[in-house]
A and B are shown apart, each in its own frame.
Chain A
Amino acid sequence: MTEPLVVFDGVVKRYGDVTAVKHLDLTIDKGEFVALMGPSGCGKTTSLRMLAGLEDPSAGDIRIGGRSMKDIPAHERDTPLVWQSLALFPFLNVRENVEFGLKMRGVSAPERRTRAGDWLDRMGMKDFGARRIDQLSGGQKQRVALARSLVTEPEMLLLDEPLSALDAHLVIRMQGVLTRLQRELGITFVYVTHSQSEAFAMADRVVIMGEGEIAQIGTPHEVYRAPATRFVAEFVGRNNIFTRPDGREFSVAADRVSVASQRPDDAAVECSFISEEFAGTSIVLYLETATGDEIKASIDEATLSALDPEPGATLWASWGPDAEHELGKG
């Protein structure tokens, strides 16, 4: 059992009266691709910044490679970050941007040039060295930002929602680039995002955060199929949440709900059809029960044409008992 690379030990961050991170206990192993996920304000970015040394914890400790980071300032840590805005230096050309980290570490000019050149090559930007930053496309800037962070051969790479400014098709492409890179280099990636699809596409483990605390940690599959709390169930996937008479809550994933125009069995729920939403490979139907609750059901095109529902039409929603997943408190 190897020592984890990063340990958050009871980390707290307060800004005046506001507690951004309540009590973070998290370990990250070498070579892992970890995603910190959650809505805005959940503390994921703050946690990343504390790891990079850009904020100081109010309490608790962060250890990297077993060494406490308490008095280690940001510029002495080996935690390069890919920024949301990319933060490329506009007064330097591409090659100079990539060389920056090496220059700060005192690497000689010829060696810097070689290593930066290698990385640009690796990112498919071989002849871009002399270009100015404002001459690059979004995707090209991304790759320069990556090269800049990785040229110093760090143990880990931090990423703060780097794909949020890209067009949808570029996002898919970059996800592939990132996943491939991580596998090839074998280094740890700590990736912050609010996008479920990004996290699930790339991460080995996801950490769902809400209101400064961890709500659940697990593989994407675990979190998707077995959300621990209501918060996770609402944030991840498309889930329906119901409350039993005794107050316990359970969730049913939308893709486990079957919809029929005739009542299939006694357990089925009578609903009226509200609307439909095209979601790529499936369609989500929004139904309303007699008591006014909303039920989401994910169906395929064939089923949709068979049902061919009119607004207000009566439909029957049902699911197997194994589709019900108990939710914990929190």
Chain B
Amino acid sequence: MPQTSSAYKYTWRLPILIWQAAFFLVPLAFMLVMTFWLVKNYRMQPDFVLKNWDKMFSRGYFWDAYWLTLGRATLAAIIVSIVAFPASFALAFKVSDTTRRWAVFFLIIPFFTSYLVRIYAWQVILAEQGVINAMIGSVGIGPVTMLNSGFGAMIGYLTLTLPLVVILQTFSLAAVDRNLIEAAWNLGCGRARTIRAVIIPSARIGLILGAIFCFILSFGDFVSPYYLGGSKPPTLSILIIDTTKSGQQWPRAAVVAICMIVTLFVAAFAAIGAAYGRPKR
């Protein structure tokens, strides 16, 4: 209706704006500002110094944590994408539409269901005296140390991101034009070649999106590295926790947070560029 009243229009338009501005944008902006404040006697004081940045960047453990986190997140993105692919492929091409919908229905559940408790369950399953070791122990192998290692952390990242990545990949693969695939077959492409040359490029967007979400989630996660990965050496997220909870050094923690945001922003930007950028050959 052309004559929409202002009261009506703004009742619906404003809530998100006000809420996000006040409780999302402002806190983040404040966090940036806070990096320039000082902590004296466990209290923060407004100021404008670069001391916090200085201190953080000069610490070896910050850079160790940075590269560790970056490395783990990248590895996670790659490994989870690879692990997910055959499953997504199966869901996109080898099952009926109904089965696929139900599969997605069930995959959504763990994504919204207590990550924390699931990680604890893995802690128990993977422990020295845990279920896995008991099982392989009965055939004479082991015990294998799985916790407090990169392996443990990776299991954690899989737990966190696998459902989402499978869902994203599945949607993307299922949307590939079947005519293209048939055309490839027609022209003599073998199965593997068709996958490489036709299917993967067509589903590029979903595959990259899945990888980048995995990267972002893993980069920021502290639960997996903490409970399954052995918290030393610390990731950036664990660093934030330690700095905040024990040291009350919120400004220093904020520095770490800002560095994380910038890194993620660059990564997301690059990924979106790769996904939507160059036109298909």
Interface residue count on the A side (C-beta < 8 Å): 8
What 0/1 readout, one digit per residue, does chain A (128-139) give for beta carbons within 8 Å of chain B?
000000000000
State in angstroms the CA–CA spacing of A73 and B3 once bound together. 6
Q: Is A153 in contact with chain B by the CB < 8 A criterion?
A: no
Within 8 A of B (CB), among A40-69: 53-56
Within 8 A of B (CB), among A238-284: none
Q: Is A304 in contact with chain B by the CB < 8 A criterion?
A: no
State in angstroms the CA–CA spacing of A74 and B2 once bound together. 9
Q: Is A126 in contact with chain B by the CB < 8 A criterion?
A: no
What 0/1 readout, one digit per residue, does chain B (112-155) give for beta carbons within 8 Å of chain A?
00000000000000000000000000000000000000000000
State in angstroms the CA–CA spacing of A74 and B3 once bound together. 8
Q: Is A122 in contact with chain B by the CB < 8 A criterion?
A: no
Q: Is A75 in contact with chain B by the CB < 8 A criterion?
A: yes
Within 8 A of A (CB), among B1-52: 1-3
Residues of A within 8 A of B1 (CB): 53-54, 73-75
* A7 to B: closest C-beta gap in Å: 20
B interface, size bucket: under 10
* A15 to B: closest C-beta gap in Å: 12
* A79 to B: closest C-beta gap in Å: 13
State in angstroms the CA–CA spacing of A53 and B1 once bound together. 7
* B2 to A: closest C-beta gap in Å: 4
Within 8 A of A (CB), among B209-239: none
State in angstroms the CA–CA spacing of A71 and B2 once bound together. 10
State in angstroms the CA–CA spacing of A71 and B3 once bound together. 9
* B153 to A: closest C-beta gap in Å: 49
CB-nearest residue of chain A relative to B5? A73
State in angstroms the CA–CA spacing of A54 and B1 once bound together. 5
State in angstroms the CA–CA spacing of A54 and B2 once bound together. 6
Residues of A within 8 A of B2 (CB): 53-56, 73
State in angstroms the CA–CA spacing of A217 and B100 once bound together. 57
CB-nearest residue of chain A relative to B4? A73
CB-nearest residue of chain A relative to B3? A73
Residues of B within 8 A of A74 (CB): 1, 3
State in angstroms the CA–CA spacing of A75 and B1 once bound together. 9
* B23 to A: closest C-beta gap in Å: 34
Within 8 A of B (CB), among A68-84: 71, 73-75
CB-nearest residue of chain B relative to A71? B3
State in angstroms the CA–CA spacing of A147 and B30 once bound together. 60
* B9 to A: closest C-beta gap in Å: 14
User: 8 tightest A-B contacts by CB?
Assistant: A56-B2, A73-B3, A74-B1, A55-B2, A73-B1, A54-B1, A53-B1, A75-B1
- What are 14 A-B contacts with C-beta separation under 8 Å? A53-B1, A53-B2, A54-B1, A54-B2, A55-B2, A56-B2, A56-B3, A71-B3, A73-B1, A73-B2, A73-B3, A74-B1, A74-B3, A75-B1
Known: A54-B1, A54-B2, A73-B2. 11 other contacts (CB 8 A): A53-B1, A53-B2, A55-B2, A56-B2, A56-B3, A71-B3, A73-B1, A73-B3, A74-B1, A74-B3, A75-B1
